[in-house]
């Protein structure tokens, strides 16, 4: 999809009785009707986007031998009391452990994760670590650290309050971000809203597939670029067409390979069988993520999952039902013809 944008949805004091808000959020300009409930809107200027060069400040790796980079977090279970912490080390695996706690100088909890690596044509990824920290308290600030020795890096995030109809929450809405100079302005714009607590990301992350051989180095630069936000608040991921990375001419026939290695989702917690469609609750919102580029027809796993999902939504508890998908339904099943 084309132009990226960002908006905010204030879920405060949801008007449960009068108007049950259903937000159907899609990326790109193809669905002008999908603006319901936006309290703010930002669209970057039109015109061709120029990508930031590899030596741009926002792509700079953190200092230190084998320092953790590309740190990103996403919700780790259905109710918001777990977080998946991910990061990359480049010269050796290092540690997959996260230490965390509610007091900055007393990170007295430990969780162990795992690392993985993938190849794409002639690219080999760094060591990609994923660690889920669980049993978090609601509405609490957590500090966490990754890395070992001289290269420990510390971050923090807030857990949401326990779901309920009147729990205020502000989601950011970003899609089609990429890594152009404009992408950087878009992210900076989002950061000016101090109330924004989590990002609903409606697909198309790095646009690495626009490069020859889908140069996966651009997946790494993208992750270093967005770390300044996504290390501190969860981004809820939706797969877009630029995540497919289906390239038989390069011998790459497994769709979503870079995306699925880098950006895990808590799909099992909602009974899903694939990471591309899932649901979570967060504050007063129930969020259903759909996969525009995975089969959705009747009797497919995604369809059957969605059918079973709707009855689980309790609008008294979560009056906001938000459905995220990258493309309007009419564009479905075009996944092999990337736009």
Ligand X SMILES: *[C@@H]1O[C@H](CO)[C@@H](O)[C@H](O)[C@H]1NC(C)=O
Cα separation, 255 vs 322, in Å, equals 26
Stretch that binds ligand X, among 13-21, 66-74, 180-188, 232-240 (CB under 6 A): 180-188
Closest approach of ligand X to the CB of residue 295, in Å: 31
End-to-end CA distance of the chain: 6
- Out of 45, 78, 326, 336, the active site residue is 336
CB nearer ligand X, residue 92 or residue 105: 105
Residue closest to 95 by CA, chosen among 112, 82, 83, 107: 112
Per-residue x/- track, 50-79, ligand X (CB under 6 A): --x---xxx---------------------
Q: Which long-range contacts (CB under 8 A, 24 or more apart) does 152-157 make?
A: 153/62, 153/67, 153/68, 153/71, 154/104, 155/71, 155/231, 155/232, 156/104, 156/232, 157/73, 157/83, 157/232, 157/233, 157/234
Q: Active site includes 130?
A: no
Structure tokens at 334: 């075009």
> Using CB under 6 A, which of 102, 116, 233, 338 touches ligand X?
102
Site size toward ligand X (CB under 6 A) is 18
Could you tell me the smallest distance in angstroms from the CB atom of residue 222 to ligand X? 13
Q: Choose the stretch contacting ligand X; rule: CB under 6 A; options: 69-77, 181-189, 264-272, 327-335.
A: 181-189
Residue 152 Cβ, how far from ligand X at the closest point, in Å? 18
Cβ–Cβ < 8 Å for 85, 98? yes
Q: Is 192 in the site for ligand X (CB under 6 A)?
A: no
DSSP helix, strand, coil percent of the chain (3-state; round to 5): 20, 30, 50
List the x/- string, 294-323, binding to ligand X by CB under 6 A.
--------------------x-xx------
By the rule CB under 6 A, 226 interacts with ligand X: no
Binding site for ligand X (CB under 6 A): 52, 56-58, 101-103, 106, 108, 122-123, 181, 184, 188, 213, 314, 316-317
Catalytic residues: 336
């Amino acid at each position: 999809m084309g132009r990226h944008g960002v908006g905010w949805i204030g879920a405060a004091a949801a008007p449960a009785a009068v108007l049950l808000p259903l937000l159907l959020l899609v990326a790109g300009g193809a669905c002008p009707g999908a603006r319901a409930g936006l309290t703010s809107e930002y669209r970057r200027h039109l015109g061709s986007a120029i990508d930031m060069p590899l030596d741009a400040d926002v792509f700079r790796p953190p200092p230190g031998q084998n320092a953790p980079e590309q740190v990103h977090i996403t919700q780790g279970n259905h109710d918001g009391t777990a977080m998946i912490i991910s990061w990359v080390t480049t010269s050796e695996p290092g540690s997959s452990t996260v230490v965390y706690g509610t007091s900055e100088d007393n990170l007295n909890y430990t969780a162990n994760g795992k690392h993985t690596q993938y190849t794409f044509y002639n690219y080999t990824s760094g060591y990609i670590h994923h660690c889920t920290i669980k049993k978090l308290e609601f509405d609490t600030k957590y500090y966490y650290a990754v890395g070992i020795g001289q290269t420990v890096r510390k971050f923090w995030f807030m857990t949401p309050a326990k779901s309920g109809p009147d729990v205020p929450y502000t989601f950011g809405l970003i899609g089609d971000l990429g890594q152009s100079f404009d992408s950087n302005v878009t992210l900076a714009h989002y950061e000016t809203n101090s109330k924004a607590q989590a990002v609903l990301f409606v697909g198309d992350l790095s646009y690495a597939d626009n490069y020859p051989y889908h140069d996966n180095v651009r997946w790494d630069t993208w992750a270093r670029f967005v770390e300044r936000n996504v290390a501190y608040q969860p981004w809820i991921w939706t797969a877009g067409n630029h995540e497919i990375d289906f390239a038989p001419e390069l011998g790459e026939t497994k769709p979503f390979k870079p995306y699925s290695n880098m950006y895990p989702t808590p799909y099992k917690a909602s009974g899903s069988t694939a990471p591309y469609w899932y649901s979570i609750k967060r504050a007063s919102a129930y969020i259903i993520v759909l996969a525009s580029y995975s089969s959705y027809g009747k009797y497919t796993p995604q369809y059957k999952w969605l059918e079973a999902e709707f009855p689980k939504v309790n609008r008294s508890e979560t009056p906001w039902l938000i459905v995220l998908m990258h493309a309007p339904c009419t564009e479905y099943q075009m996944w092999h013809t990337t736009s």
